[in-house]
């Protein structure tokens, strides 16, 4: 489900309460950065804060006690369909590698218009690490001195770099979950016990609820039995069937599973230095693949041949 459509949040209560308390006491900074691994629910948290602010004096306002958006609320509907007059969304457009300067200029033009009913205006920038240098520089100018009652919420993945000049201007919330919290949130999202449908061998301490739910949804689509597949057999299945082609999620999933596989091999190996070298070589190849936009297929086939003995 798209973050803008999620009427409930899980595991984010403390972050939500802290920010809306700041808003209610007129102390909320006009630049907030949520930083953390993809799949934690940062964007969903942002949309809940936005709805709380917009729906304050509307019918079917935000349920603060239950941390729930009322789907009948007019602001919820307007934000969902992209027509709320006081909300502006910037995200990576289809087939684009970066958030470009034109998108920032469109937002700046929007910021110079009058607010609807003198209510707060909010700009949400998702995947802020995708801003290119020109778009960051343009953004800095308006972030320095935003108009009154004008707020920015920025979302970024912790593995990605955000320019210090932008980060230093924001109140940053570093979001992370413990392993137990990840399992609890995943169970709530799935409405069942995670380990009734997935092999323990496939879960690492670094998974996020979003990654786990996406894996399960993908397995249902492809009719893959996650309960009776271990790490090795699932990797063979994903690579042999070329599921990573034209599916960015599966490509990222395979990389994460390969890393987990190598680390598990390290724990039981009697030649730890050799496994450690394999691990570092793999990480370097992944880094270069992303940096130079190389094809991931050769990396996966090499792993399958050398480590899975296929």
pLDDT tens digits, residue range 237-277? 999 999 999 788 999 999 999 999 999 999 999 999 999 99
Same domain (yes/no): 216, 288: yes
Comparing C-alpha atoms, which of 1, 247, 33 is closest to residue 157?
33
Structural domain boundaries enclosing 267: 179-306
- Of 175, 199, 223, the last residue of a domain is 175
The mean per-residue pLDDT over the stretch 192-201 comes to: 96
Cβ atoms 195, 168 nearer than 8 A: no
Burial classification of residue 98, based on how many CB atoms lie within 10 Å of its CB (0-12 exposed, 13-18 middle, 19 or more buried): middle
For the chain, the maximum distance between any two Cα atoms, rounded to a whole number of angstroms, is: 69
- Of 175, 198, 230, the last residue of a domain is 175
Band of pLDDT at residue 290, cut at 50, 70 and 90: confident
DSSP string, 86-121: TEEEE-PPTT-SSB-HHHHHHHHHHHTSPPGGG--E
Same domain (yes/no): 296, 251: yes
Same domain (yes/no): 183, 171: no
How many angstroms separate the Cα of 98 from the Cα of each of 20, 47, 107, 162?
31, 22, 16, 13
Q: How many domains does one find in the chain?
A: 2
Same domain (yes/no): 22, 171: yes
Same domain (yes/no): 135, 204: no
Same domain (yes/no): 166, 193: no
The overall pTM is greater than 0.75:
yes
Band of pLDDT at residue 158, cut at 50, 70 and 90: low
The mean per-residue pLDDT over the stretch 43-59 comes to: 97
How many angstroms separate the Cα of 131 from the Cα of each of 8, 98, 111, 151, 192?
29, 6, 19, 18, 38
Same domain (yes/no): 97, 219: no
Encode 115-153: b = buried (16+ Cβ within 10 Å), e = exposed. Answer: eeeeebbbbbbbbbbbbeeebbebbeebbeeeeeebbbb
Same domain (yes/no): 45, 92: yes
Same domain (yes/no): 152, 191: no
Same domain (yes/no): 65, 161: yes
């Amino acid at each position: 489900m798209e973050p803008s459509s999620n009427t409930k949040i899980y595991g984010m209560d403390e972050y939500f309460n802290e920010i809306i308390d700041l808003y209610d006491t007129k102390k909320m900074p006009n630049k907030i950065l949520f930083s953390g691994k993809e799949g934690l629910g940062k964007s969903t948290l942002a949309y809940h804060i936005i709805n709380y602010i917009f729906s304050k004096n509307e019918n079917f306002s935000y349920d603060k006690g239950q941390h729930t958006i009322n789907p009948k609320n007019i602001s919820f509907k307007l934000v969902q369909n992209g027509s709320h007059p006081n909300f502006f969304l910037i995200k990576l457009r289809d087939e684009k590698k970066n958030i470009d300067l034109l998108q920032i200029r469109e937002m700046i033009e929007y910021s110079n218009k009058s607010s609807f009913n003198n209510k707060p205006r909010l700009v949400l920038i998702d995947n802020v690490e995708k801003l290119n240098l020109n778009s960051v520089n343009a953004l800095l100018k308006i972030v320095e001195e935003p108009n009154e009652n004008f707020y920015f919420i920025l979302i970024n993945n912790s593995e990605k770099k955000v320019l210090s000049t932008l980060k230093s201007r924001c109140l940053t919330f570093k979001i992370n979950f413990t392993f137990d919290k990840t399992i609890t949130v995943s169970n709530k999202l799935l409405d069942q016990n995670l380990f009734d449908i997935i092999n323990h061998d496939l879960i690492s301490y670094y998974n996020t609820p979003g990654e786990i739910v996406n894996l399960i949804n993908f397995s249902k689509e492809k009719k893959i039995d996650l309960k009776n597949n271990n790490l090795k057999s699932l990797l063979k299945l994903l690579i042999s069937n070329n599921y990573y082609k034209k599916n960015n999620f599966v490509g990222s999933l395979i990389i994460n599973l390969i890393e987990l596989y190598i680390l598990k091999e390290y724990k039981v190996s009697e030649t730890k230095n050799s496994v450690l070298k394999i691990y570092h070589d793999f990480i370097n190849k992944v880094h270069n693949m992303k940096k130079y936009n190389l094809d991931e297929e050769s990396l996966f086939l090499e792993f399958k041949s050398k480590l899975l003995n296929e």
